[in-house]
Amino acid sequence: MAVALPMESNPETMNKYLSKLGVSDKWRMVDVIGLEGEALSWVPQPVLAVILLFPLSDAYESHRHEQENYLLKKGEQPPKDVFHLRQVLSNVCGTIALVHSVANNTNKIDLHDGLLKNYLRDAEGLDAAARGALLENSVAILDAYKEIMQSGNADGNEGEVINNHFVTFIHKDGKLFELDGRKTFPIDHGETTPESLLEDAAKVCREFIKREPDNIGFTVVALVPNQ
Q: Do the beta carbons of residue 9 and residue 221 sit within 8 Å?
A: yes
Q: How far apart are CA 173 and CA 194, in angstroms?
A: 10
Given 93, 100, 171, 205, which residue is catalytic? 93
Cβ atoms within 10 Å of 192's Cβ, excluding its own: 21
Q: Which neighbouring-strand residues pair with 54?
A: 165
Active site residue 189: no
Q: Which of 62, 57, 86, 26 is nearest to 165 (CA)?
A: 57
Active site residue 63: no
Integer angstrom CA distances of residue 199 from 38, 40, 52, 137, 162: 11, 7, 13, 36, 29
Given 63, 65, 84, 165, which residue is catalytic? 165
CA torsion 172-176-179-184 (nearest 10°) is -90
Amino acid, res. 153: N
3-state secondary structure of 124: coil
Burial class from Cβ neighbours inside 10 Å (0-12, 13-18, 19+) for residue 25 reads exposed
Report the sign of the C-alpha dihedral through residues 170, 125, 79, 208, in that order. negative
- Maximum pairwise Cα distance, the chain: 49
The set of catalytic residues is 93, 165
